[in-house]
Amino acid sequence: MHFRLVDQVLECTPDRAVTVKNVTLAEEYLQDHFPGFHVLPGVFMLEALVQSARLVLAARDLARAGGAPRRMVLGGVRALKYGMFVRPGESLRSEVTIDKETDDGSVIFRGSATVVRVSASASPDTAVSGRFTMRPVRMLQL
């Protein structure tokens, strides 16, 4: 099953992306997470960062080769920290930046996502932050 965790792209360059996910009660996964206290699951916060990173990689591949983007998957996560809950009616604003590229074609990102609340007076709180690696898909050799 595929979940769309980027509703709006605010910025996308070959090195950085800023995206927004608007969390609503219409999201199927919120019905069970948690009954009576609906919050965006932590793994979906990470997936929002991953989907934002894929936009950066696509922009990077287009700028470099003008061709189709490489198929990349999440290869690892380091120093991931969760902070505030993201509830229906709030938005998750994700920012990802390339930290480094490795010799095997992997790309290490720094990412963070903040909770944007309806109340304009509320300052954004960090929902998730950390480093993660996107690596090329490796085909199975028989």
Is 2 labeled as catalytic in the residue annotation? Answer: no
CA distance 142 to 120: 57
What would the pLDDT profile of 66-103 be if each residue is shown by its tens digit? Answer: 677 789 999 999 999 999 999 999 999 999 999 999 99
Number of domains the chain is built from:
1
- Give residue 70's pLDDT: 85
What b/e string do you get for 76-92 counting C-beta neighbours within 10 Å, with b at 16 or more? eeeeeeeebbbeeebbb
* CB neighbour list of residue 100: distance below 8 Å, 6 or more residues apart: 107, 108
Q: Which residues of the chain have pLDDT under 70?
A: 1, 66, 120-121, 140-142
- Give residue 120's pLDDT: 63
Within the chain, residue ranges assigned H as helices are 42-65
70: in domain: yes
pTM for the whole structure:
0.93
112: in domain: yes
55: in domain: yes
CA distance 102 to 117: 37
38: in domain: yes
CATH number of residue 97's parent domain:
3.10.129.10
- Please return the burial class of 25, using the count of CB atoms within 10 Å of its CB with bins 0-12, 13-18 and 19+: exposed
Per annotation, catalytic residue among 16, 33, 70, 135: 33
Q: Which domain holds residue 12?
A: 8-136
